[in-house]
Structure 1
Amino acid sequence: MLKLALFFLVVSLVAGLFGFGGISSAAAGMAKILFFIGIMLFVVFLVVALVAGRSIMK
């Protein structure tokens, strides 16, 4: 997920460099969305792993 976000960030920077503003803003928006989805999934899996780890220890 974060690899895709990085890819869209690079596409946005290159498109902005060449003057394609619409494509640049769309790619930056996609990169932002994918980044936040990746962070949310990381937090969810972290909480699940902590909860599951505690139930095994008991």
Structure 2
Amino acid sequence: MCRGGIGDLTGTERGRLTDAATAEKILDTRFTTGFLGGQRERRVAKIAALDTKHLAKKA
């Protein structure tokens, strides 16, 4: 039994977020610190690509 895992906190299935409000909160927390050299933009693009791929698989 795993306690305190991200799956327990966000209701994830195999690491995918299912609650939009929780996802927004995590991203806001993650991006509050500054990044050098456009890392934030690359991260946002990578997350968007993964989400698009995941939604395409679900359809």
The bucket for the TM-score relative to the shorter chain is 0.3 to 0.5
Bigger relative CO (Cα 8 Å, ≥ 6 apart): 1
TM-score between the two structures when normalised by the length of structure 2:
0.45
Task: Specify which structure has the higher proportion of helix.
Answer: 1
**Greater C-alpha radius of gyration:** 1
TM-score between the two structures when normalised by the length of structure 1:
0.46
